[in-house]
Structure 1
Amino acid sequence: MNNFSTLFEPNYTILTFLMIKTFFYIETIGAFALIRTFVATGPSRLIACAAFLVALIGVAAKYIPPLAGLSGEMPGRIASQIVNQGIITAGSGMALPFAVSILFALSWRMRGHRWWALDALHLLCALGFFGLWLYTLS
C-alpha cells in the first residue's frame, strides 16, 4: 500500500528544477549580464551584451506570446521552439540556459571585465542549476 501512495506524490526535486528553469535562471543570469554591460569595458561589455540579448530573447519568447494571445499562431510556435531547444534530448529546454551561461562566463575571460562578484554569483547559480539538472537526469 505504501508504494501505491508514493506513485502519485510529486517529485519535489524535479518540480524545484522545473520552477528554477522556467522562472529564475535565465532571468537571473540576464540581470547579471545587464549589470556587466553597464560596468565593463571593451570586449567584456560586448559579450555581456550578447548574453543579455540572448536572455532577453528567451524571456520574450516565454512570456509575450501567451500575453498577446498568440499561443496557437505562428509566432507562438516559433517562440516555443526557441524556449524548448534541447541539449541532450529534443525539447528539454536546456539550450537557452547553456547559451546564456556560457556567454556570460566568456565575458569574465575578456579584457575589461569588472566586478568579480558577478562571476562568483554566476558560478554559484550555474553549479546549483546544472547540478540539479544532472541530478534529475538520474
Structure 2
Amino acid sequence: MNPARIRLLAVGKLRKRWVSDGLALYLKRLPGLQIVELKDSTPAREAEAVLLALRPDEQLIGLSEEGDQLGSVQLAQRLEGLGSERLAFVIGGADGLDPALKARARWLLSLSPMTFPHELARLLLVEQLYRAQTIQQGGPYHKA
C-alpha cells in the first residue's frame, strides 16, 4: 500500500483536539496520505462536493454501516489486491453517504456495525490504513 495514492475525503471539520493529535501521529507514519475536508450539508450536497473533489483516476471507497466488515488482515489484503490504483475513501456527514454516492463506490467499507461520529471514524480509518501498511510490510505493529 502506498499512502501517496490514497486520499480521505471527509465531510465536516475536526473539533476535538485529541482526534487531531491522533491523526497527526498517524499522518507522520503515512507520508503522502491526504485528508480533504468537505463542508457538511445535506447528503445530496455532500455527494456533489465529493464528486467535485474526486479525481478522474481515483476509485471511490465509501464508508457505510452496510459495507463490508473486514478484519485488519483482510483490509490489508484487499488494499494490496488493488495494486497501484488511486483510492479515495469517503466519510460522510451526520446523515451518512447519499445513496447515489454509495452506488457509485467501487466498494463500501464498514468500520464496525456500530455508528461513530465522523471525527472518530476518520481516526479509526487512518489507524487501520497504517495497520494495513505494517501488515503488508511484515512490521511488528499488528499483533494477530
Higher helix share: 1
* Structure of larger gyration radius: 1
Q: Same fold (TM over 0.5)?
A: no
- TM-score normalised by the chain length of structure 2: 0.27
- TM-score normalised by the chain length of structure 1: 0.27
Higher strand share: 2
